[in-house]
Amino acid sequence: MDKPNEGRSRVVIENVQPQINCGLFPIKRTIGDLVSIQADIFGDGHDHVRARLLWKEEDASIWESVAMLPLGNDRWQGEFPVDKIGRYRYTLVGEIDHFETWQSDLKKRVEAGQDLAVPFATGAALLEQVQPRASEQDSARLAGWAKKLRAAGQDEAAVQFALQDELLAMVHRYPDPAIETWYERELEVVVDRERAGFSAWYELFPRSWSPTLGKHGTLRDVAGRLDYVAEMGFDVLYLPPISPIGKSFRKGKNNSVEAAPGDEGSPWAIGSAEGGHTAILPALGTLKDFADLVQRTKQKKMEIALDIAFQCAPDHPWVTEHPEFFKKRPDGSIQYAENPPKKYQDIYPLDFESSNCPGLWDALKDVFSFWMDQGVLIFRVDNPHTKAFPFWQWVIPELKAKDPNVLFLAEAFTRPRVMERLAKSGFSQSYTYFTWRDTKEELTEYLLELTTTPVKEYFRPNFWPNTPDILPAHLQTGGLPAFRFRLVLATTLCSNYGIYGPAFELGENTPFKPGGEEYLNSEKYEIKQWDLTNPASLKPLITRLNQIRRANPALHSNQRLHFHTTDNPMLICYSKRTLDGSNQILVVVNLDPSLVQAGWVEVDLDALGLAPDVTFEVYDLLADHSYIWRGSRNYVALRPAEAPGHVFRVAPAAI
C-alpha cells in the first residue's frame, strides 16, 4: 500500500453536516440564503488546525473560500451565501497551521521568559517557505519580515511584531497544497427562487367559476374573476388538470361507478379523443385562453400552478399509440387502477417497468416541457409516490436545466420515508401531515421534526388545512371557528401554505359519509356553484393573514420557530424571528373551536432576545390592539366566536 502523501496530510475531516445520504442528494436553499456548514476537523498532537469552506457555482472552475471558525471540541463552522438560482458545490479543506502554532508557542515562551533567538529564526523560516507560493509583491514583504525576525532581539517591540495578525493573514493567503486534507467528496446545494420557500396557494376548479348559474366555467371566466383571489393576497393560483376528461367508465357524482347523462367526470381521468396531457378540455377554452390567463395572472402578481397527473383515461391517445406504457392482464387487456378493495375503472396507471421505459420517460418529460413553454413554472404533481423514484431523480434536473425557475409540489400523503425520498429526489415543496395533526402535542412534535431534524435540509413543507380529497374531522365538527384557527396555524407555522377554495372560505364541511373524509357532492365530480359574496365568508380573515405574512419577514421562513409553554393544553404558543431579531412574531392559538380557553403563557424571553423582567409590547396584528407585557409569565383568553388567536408583533415597550 502506498504511503499517503508521505504522511504530511495530518488533518481529519468527518461528520460534515448538512449532507443527505452521504452526499447522494443535494441540500436545498432559496436565493439569498446563507449556507451554514459544520464538521469535526482535527489533527494529531497539539498543533493548531486551520479549516476552510470552499464553494462554487456548479459550472465554475475556481473555488471561493472562507475560513471556518472553531465551535469547540474540534467542531468547526463556516458559511457561504447563495445569490443565484441553480446548483452550487461545496467541500472542506483542513491543514496543520504551522505559523499559528508557532505564534501560540511564542506567547508561551515569552511568558516563561525563554530566549527567543531560535523561535524567531523558526518563524522566519516558516515565512520564507511561503514565499514561492506568494505573488511578487507579497513575496518581497514576506522576505522583509523574515529578515526582521532573524535580526530581532528580546524586546517587546520584536514580540509584538512577531505576533501581529498581518503576518498570520499573509501566510493564510497562500496555503500549502502539499499538507492539505480535502474532504473526500464534493457536496451539492440546489438554490431555488424565493417562491419555493414562501408562498400562498389558492386552488380552484375552473369549471365551477362561471358567473352564470348552471353554466360550465371556462378559463376566460377564471381570468375575469381573478380579482377575487388576488385581493386575498395569494401568489399561486393552482388549477387541477385542465386536459380532456375520459368518457369511458366516467365516474358520476359522489364518485358513483356509473355516470348519468351530463355528468362532467373527474379532471384526474385524463385523456379522450379530444387529446391527452397536452390538450385542453374544449369546454374550458383554448390554448390562447390559457395563455391569456397566464398573462392576466402575472399582471395580478400571481402565477399559475398546474396539476400534472401521470395517469390516463381509457380514451387517452397513448392507450392506442403506446399500449406498452400500461400494465396488461393475462388476457392482454390493460389493467385499470386499483387500491384493493377500491377500483378506479376510469384510470389506467402507467407502467414504470415498461419495455419502453425510455420512451415513457421522454413522453412524460415532454408533458412538463409543453406546459413550461406555455408559461407554467410551478407544478403540483399528483401521487408522485406511485411513480418510480429514479424517474423523478432524472426528470426534475432535466427540467431545471431547461429553466431553473421551475418548481414542483409533491402531493404524496403517504409513508414518511417515501415522502422524504421524493423531496430528496428534487421536489421543491411537499404536502405534509399537518392536515391531521390536532393536539398541541401532535403539532409541536411534528413541527419540531420538520424544523430541527435533518429533514429541514431538503423537505420544504406546504401546509393545507383542506384539499378536494381531504375534509378532516376537525373541520367537519368544528364549524367556521375550526376553519379560522386552522388557518391561523397554517399561515403562521409554515412559510408555504394553501387552501382549497372557495370550499375553505365558505366553510364547506359536510362529509359524504360519517367517519369519512370525502366531501358530499364533491367538486371533483361535478360543477359547484359558490356564493362568493356570502357575508359569512372567511375572506377578510384570509386577506388579513396574507397581509401579515407579507409584511413580516419572520414568517417567510421556517427557521427559528420556537414553542413556548402554556399551562392550558388547548392553547398553543410559538414564535418566529428573523436572524437579526428585527422582526419577531409571537402567536397564541385556541385549539378549541367551541369554548373560551384561557391560561398563562410562559414566554421564553431568551428566544426573543429579551432580558428578564423587561417590559415589552405585543401588538395583535389581527385585532389591531396593543398590550404591554412584563417578564415571561403573561395571561391570555381567547373566545373562538370572536378571535381564533393572537398574532403578536413583539417589540420593546416605548419608554
Residues with a catalytic annotation lie at 382, 411
Cβ contacts of 125 within 8 Å, gap of 6 or more: 146
**H or E segment at 431?**
strand 429-431
Q: Round to whole Å and give the CA distance between 131 and 141.
A: 9
Dihedral, CA of residue 390, residue 392, residue 398 and residue 402, to nearest 10: 180
Q: Are 302 and 237 in contact (CB under 8 A)?
A: yes
Q: Closest Cα partner for 16 from 96, 93, 82, 95?
A: 93
Residue 524's alpha-carbon distances to 344, 467, 521, 540, in angstroms, are 14, 11, 8, 26
DSSP 347-399: -EEB-TT-TTHHHHHHHHHHHHHHHHHTT--EEEEESGGGS-HHHHHHHHHHH
**H or E segment at 145?**
helix 136-150
Question: Reduced to 3 DSSP states, what percent helix, strand and coil does the chain have, rounded to the nearest 5?
Answer: 35, 25, 40
Q: Are 507 and 480 in contact (CB under 8 A)?
A: yes
Q: What is the largest CA-CA distance in the chain?
A: 104
What number of other Cβ atoms are within 10 A of residue 563's Cβ?
17
Q: Round to whole Å and give the CA distance between 76 and 183.
A: 14
Rg over alpha carbons for the chain, rounded to the nearest Å, is: 31
Residue 160's alpha-carbon distances to 116, 122, 143, 529, 570, in angstroms, are 13, 16, 18, 83, 63
Spell out the SS3 assignment of 207-251. HHCCCCCCCCCCHHHHHHCHHHHHHHCCCEEEECCCCCECCCCCC
Please state the length of the chain.
Answer: 655
What is the strand order of the sheet 69-72 is part of? 11-17, 34-43, 75-81, 69-72
User: In DSSP terms, which residues pair with 203 in a beta bridge?
Assistant: 238, 500
